Structure 1
C-alpha cells in the first residue's frame, strides 16, 4: 500500500520532492522535541507534541525503507533527531522532576556517552554517523514513550528504572555492533544477526 502511494506521489510531484519527505519528517521530530520544553504545564499540548514525535519517528524510517529511498544524509539526520529528542526529554525531566533525574544522573550520562561514542565510531569507520534500527533500539524508544505517558497521565515514575535499563542495554548492543562489524546494516536486528552475517562471509 505504501509503495503504491509512493509511486503515485512520485508520478505527480516529482522524485526529488517526494524523496525529501522522510528527511522532512526527521526535521519535524527535531522541532517537536524542542517544543516539549515549551509545553511544560500544559498536558494537552505535551500529549500532542509527544504524538508528533512518535508518528514522525515511525513514519520517516518506515517510508524510507519501504520505498528504497534510504540515504546517508537521511540516516545521519535521523540519528541527530534521535539524539536531540533524548536531550530534550532529559531537559524536560530535569525541569519537571529535578530530584528524580538527579537520582538517575549517572545512568543517563552513561547512556548518552555510549550513544555518542557509537556515532563517533561509525563516523570514523564509515565516513558518516548513523543509528541502527535494532529490535532493542525500537524497544527502548517504546519504553521511553510509555514512561512519558505514565508521567503525563498518571504522574508516576515507576517505569523510569525499567526505561533506563532497556536504554542502556540497547545503547551497549549498538556500540558492540559498531565495533565488531565494519559496515553495519542500518536495519540490523541484533548483535546476534550481525555476527551471523559476519561469520557467514560474502556469498559465493
Structure 2
C-alpha cells in the first residue's frame, strides 16, 4: 500500500511522453484524452492516499510537482503539434503565464536552491481549470473561455506562491495558501518557551 502514491507519480511521468507520442502526427486519438484523464486522476489520488497512509514526505511531494511539470510540458508540446494556430492566436496570454511560472522558478531557486512544493488551494484550482481547458482543447477543438480561465488562474497562482516564498524564511512543503504562509512565518519567528525562560 505504501508504494501506491509513488507508483501513481511514476505513472504520471510516463503518461506525458505517451501523450506527446500520440500527437506527433498532428492529431490526437481517443487515447490522448483517456491518458490525460488517467493522469489527472492519478494526481488527485496520490496525495489523498499519501496523506491517509501518513507518508506524505517532502521527497514525494517534490516528485509530484516534477510529474505535473512533465505532464503539462508534454500537453503544451502536443498543443503546438495539433493546434498550432490556436497556440499562435493565444501566444501573448500563454507567454504571460509561462513568464509568471518562470519568475516563480527563479525566485524559488534564488532563495531555496530548489522549486517550492506548496500544493496550495490555488494550485488545485489551477489544476482543475487546466484539466477543463485541455479536454475542451483536444476533445472539442475549443480554446475560448476555458483557456482564458486557466491562464488567469495560473497567473494568480504563480503570484501567490512567489509571495509565499518571499514570506517564508525556510523551505516548507504543503503550505496551503498565503494566509497559511504568514501564520507559519509567525510560528517560525516566535521564540520557543525554553528561549523565553
TM-score normalised by the chain length of structure 2? 0.81
Match of 1:108 in 2: 94
Cα shift at 1:114: 3.4
Distance 1:115 1:22 in 2: 26
Distance 1:47 1:109 in 2: 24
Higher mean alpha-carbon deviation, 180-189 vs 137-146, is at: 180-189
- 1:140 matched to 2:126? The reply is yes
Distance 1:70 1:127, change over 3 A: farther
- 1:118 matched to 2:101? The reply is no
Cα shift at 1:120: 4.6
| Contact 2:15 2:39 survives alignment (8 Å) | yes
Correspondence for 2:150 among 156, 163, 172: 163
RMSD of aligned residue pairs (Cα, Å): 2.3
Match of 1:181 in 2: 168
- 1:57 matched to 2:43? The reply is yes
| Contact 1:139 1:166 survives alignment (8 Å) | yes
Cα shift at 1:145: 0.7
Cα shift at 1:125: 4.0
TM-score normalised by the chain length of structure 1? 0.79
| Contact 1:29 1:56 survives alignment (8 Å) | yes
Match of 1:12 in 2: none
Correspondence for 2:69 among 83, 86, 89: 83
Specify every segment of 5 or more residues in structure 2 that has no aligned partner in the other structure, as ranges. none
Match of 2:34 in 1: 48
Higher mean alpha-carbon deviation, 99-108 vs 165-174, is at: 99-108
Distance 2:72 2:137 in 1: 16
Cα shift at 1:69: 0.9
Cα shift at 1:45: 0.5
Higher mean alpha-carbon deviation, 192-201 vs 159-168, is at: 192-201
Distance 1:184 1:110, change over 3 A: farther
